Structure 1
Amino acid sequence: MSEQKNHNSGSSHLLRNYIVYGVLIVMIGIALQYGIFSVIGVRQKMKMFDEQVDVVLLPLNEKHMDSVIVDLFQKKVFLETRFQMSKNDSISLSLNLKDSLLQLEMKGVVIKSTKITDFEVDEFLYQLKPATYQHLFGTQMKVKSYLSTISKAPIVVKKAPKDTTEAQAASAKIDSVKTEAVHWMLTLDKEIILKIEGSDEFSRSDWWNGQMFWFREDLNSFKNLKETIRFKVPEYYPEIRLVISEAEAKAIYRALPSKPFVGIRL
C-alpha cells in the first residue's frame, strides 16, 4: 500500500515537472519568435524607406561623409525644413535634438523655446543613410493624430456671485490647480511617433497617472505579440521620446493647432 502511494506521488511530481518545463519551453519559444519577427519588422521598415524613389535617385554616399560633413548636412536639411514651415500661416513645432531644444515657430520666428532635459531616440533613426535621412527629415511632417492626458482647450465654468460679499469671498479664495499628468503623443505622417513627457522638480502631477498613460500605449506591444504568434510581422514605428518641464509641456501642447507641421533634427 505504501509502495503504491509513493509510486503515485512520484508520478504526480513527474507530471508537474513536465507541465512546468513545457510551459517554460512554450514561453521561450514565443519570446524568440517575437524577437525574430520584431527584427524583421524593423528591417522591412528600413528597406521600405531606402526604396523610396527620391532616396534611390538622391546621389549621396555615406562612405564619403565624415562626422563634420554629416553634421553640416543635417543642419542644412533642418534649415530647409524650417524654411518650408515658415510659409505656413499657423504655428509649427521644431525639434532640435542636437541643441536639445523644442520650439514653437510661426512665419520663421521662434515664439517659444524650451530646453529638453532628457530624450531617447530609437537606434533605427541613427542608422539611416543620408539619402533616407533627407527623405524623412528634409520636408515638414504633418501630425496625423494626437493623444494626451490633458485637454487641448480646457473649459472653466464659474458661477456668477449673487452680491458683493460673495464676490469678495470668491476673489479671496485660493485657486487650486488641478493635479494632472502632462504627457502627450504625436503620430506623424512619415510613420514616426513623438512622445513628450512633462516632468520636473516643480511637477504637480501624479507620477502613477503618468505611468498608466504610457502603459496603455505600451499595450501595443501585446498586440504585436499577438501578431507574431499568428506568424505575422508586426508594424514598426520609430519613436522619439522627450522630457521637458511640466509647465512648458502643457503650454506647447495647447498652443499647437489641430494639425501642425513638425520639423526634426537628430
Structure 2
Amino acid sequence: MKDQLFAYVLRLADDAAILGQRLGEWCGHAPTLEEDIGLANIGLDYIGQARALYTYAGEIEGKGRDEDQLCFLRHEREFSNCLLVEQPNGDFAETIAREFFFAAFMLPFWTRLKASRDETLAAIAAKAEKEAAYHLRHSAEWVIRLGDGTGESHERMQDAVEALWIYTGELFEVDDTLATLIADGIAVDPEPIRTEWRETVARVLSEATLAIPEEGYAQTGGRSGIHTEHFGHLLSEMQYMQRAYPGLKW
C-alpha cells in the first residue's frame, strides 16, 4: 500500500508542477497585463499544490527526498503526469483549452478527494478545491469569449479544442495502483467524474458556439512515464539551475 500511495501522490504532484511550469512560461508574454498576472497566479496555485504533494510523497517514501529533489532531480521517464498538462502553450486559445479541460476535471476531483481516508490528502484537497473553482471559472469565461468572439478567435478556439481533445481521455484511466487505492477509500475513482466533466465541457462549448469533437482514440502513456516530445524540453528548462549547480544555497 505504501508504494501505491507514493505513486498516487507523486502523479498528482507531477500534474500540478508541470502545468504550473507551463503557465509560468506566459509571464511577460500574455496578451494583456491582467492576463499576464492572472496566468502567473494560477501557475503559482499549481506550484503550491505541487509543493504540498511532493512533500507528502517524500514523507511516504521515507528516503529523505524533499519537494525540490522530487521535482528537479528526477528524469523524464520517472514523471507520471498526464500528457495533457505537458502540451506546449501554443497560442492563447491552446493554453486556455488545456486549462479548461484540466480544471473541469480537477474541481470535482478535489471535491471528492476531501472524503479520502488519508487525512493529509483530504486537507490538501480542501484547499485545492477553492483554487480549482477559480481556475475553471477563469478558463471557461475565456473559452466563451474567444469562441463567441471574432471569426479568427472562434477558429483558433475550435482548433485548440480539437487538438487537445485526444489527451483528455487519460484523465479517466484506472490502473492497478489507482484501483487498489480506490478500493481502500484513499483515491478518487475518476470514472464517475466523466459524466460531470462532459456536462461542464458541453455546456461551456455550447455557449461558446464551439463543436464538441467526436470521440475517438485517446492518447495515453503519461502515467507510466511515456511522454510526448515536448516534455524533455520542458524539463531541461525547469531543472537547469538545480542540475547545473547541485546543492546550491541562495
Q: TM-score, normalised by structure 2?
A: 0.24
Structure with the largest fraction of helix: 2
Rg larger for? 1
Q: Which has the higher strand share?
A: 1
